[in-house]
Amino acid sequence: MKANKSLWILAVICVINSMGFGIVVPLLYSYGKKFGVTEHTIGLLTAAFSIAQFFATPVLGALSDKWGRKPVLVISLIGTCISFILFAQARSIIMLFAARILDGLTGGNISVAQAMVSDISSPKDRAKNFGILSSAFGFGFVAGPAIGGLLSKIGLQVPFYFAAVIALAGILITMLFLKETNTERKDKQEYQFNYAWLITVLKQPIVGVSIFIGFMLTMAQFSMIIGFQTFSVDQLKLSPTQIGLFYAGFAITGIVMQLLVPLLTKAFSSKAIILLISTLICLGAMILSGFATGFILFAVAVCVYGLFNGLRNPMLNAIIADNSDSKEQGKVLGINQSYTSIGQTLGPVTAGLITVISVHSIFFLASFYILIAFLLCFKLKSQNAS
């Protein structure tokens, strides 16, 4: 019962956190333009968060193994809250970058929440519980942009202040209602962190392969998002409102599939098999997207991709947690999030470079990334990943 209560409190915190992020991100460019942000520097502003997160998240994860999950989660949320206030109070482009870097440096929210779910879950329930957590994040990302768009009509600074209030609510809920889940802390050990772990963890048979699969699938997803935006505007001639609704539909399909994880884990004995099948379907859907010329085929392909891509995080996080030392899960899940951050950066960069060929080439590039992940799924299965 306690595990159940903690899981749903974590889900609420994740909705609050991702909603704040979703409110802000779509407004970065329009808000930053008055400080000199251009179509070129917006990429740097976005990347600043991911790069800072890449270096900070595994450190925060390792600290949560020693100090406990709850204090590190509170610190992360405080950093997020302050960054939103800094963004709202910005008077120069330097302050915008400082705010995004601060949010990245304290952006261990996701990996710490994942470690807490792992702490309270049995191996049998991990995939289901990670699915609930992913659904909570997904719901926040869907609701956030809509709320941000409405609040921006009052003033461009208003969404950032609202996001700060949302983050503050997350801090209070964490402090008042969430109990510490890491009961086997390494209190007597001297804290050490070595960035070489970012490389050495990839050499671990199951965990390393899982992290790299996640990295490739993240590259594919964020490449696809660039193709989705350009194809919707330049080829399909959709309005901003139509694109927003289309993207919301894409996101909702993933949430629906994440809620079905308990049924899938009952039907299939191996999470690696579920991952392999879902990755194959994603590959076919992405290739189909590349050949689409009209709305109907494109919409079907994108929604099928969104549906089965929703299984990625629950399966991979469960496999990583199942095959990690319980005393180092914060560190390992933090490293996993670091690679996710870099995938979120490199995906759009490579997609932008290949657009010189055609818009359709972006989807074939994403297909190539998924193909690599699909082949690695066979390796994961051969290593007897559960």
Q: Give Cα separations from 348 to 256, 310, 366 (angstroms).
A: 26, 20, 10
What is d(CA 310, CA 274) in angstroms, rounded to the nearest whole number?
12
Q: In the block, which residue shows the tokens 């709202």?
A: 88
State phi, psi for 296 to the nearest 5 degrees: -60, -50
pLDDT digits (tens, 9 = 90+) for 143-170: 887 788 788 888 888 888 998 998 898 8
Chain centroid, CA 61 distance in Å: 16
304 residue type, one letter: V
Q: What is the pLDDT of residue 128?
A: 86
Q: Give Cα separations from 344 to 217, 227, 231, 331 (angstroms).
A: 10, 14, 19, 20
Q: What is the pLDDT of residue 194?
A: 64
H helices present in the chain, as ranges:
2-24, 28-32, 41-67, 69-88, 93-105, 109-120, 126-151, 158-177, 197-200, 205-230, 240-259, 261-267, 271-291, 295-309, 312-322, 329-354, 360-382
Query: What is the sign, positive or negative, of the torsion defined by CA atoms of 30, 35, 39, 43?
Result: negative
Q: What is the pLDDT of residue 286?
A: 96
Q: What is the pLDDT of residue 385?
A: 60
Mean pLDDT of 307-329: 86
What is d(CA 355, CA 153) in angstroms, rounded to the nearest whole number?
33
134 residue type, one letter: S
Query: What is the sign, positive or negative, of the torsion defined by CA atoms of 132, 137, 143, 147?
Result: positive
Q: Give Cα separations from 343 to 109, 170, 172 (angstroms).
A: 18, 27, 32
Tally of CB atoms within 10 A around 155: 11
Q: What is the pLDDT of residue 188?
A: 46
pLDDT band at 226 (very low <50, low <70, confident <90, very high): confident
Q: What is the pLDDT of residue 296?
A: 92
What does the angle CA 28 – CA 50 – CA 165 come to, to the nearest 5 degrees? 55
pLDDT digits (tens, 9 = 90+) for 172-225: 998 998 888 877 655 545 555 566 777 878 888 899 999 999 999 999 998 888
SS3 content of the chain, % helix, strand, coil (to 5): 80, 0, 20
Q: Give Cα separations from 333 to 10, 72, 166, 339, 352 (angstroms).
A: 16, 14, 25, 10, 29
pLDDT digits (tens, 9 = 90+) for 89-120: 988 889 988 988 998 888 767 778 888 888 88
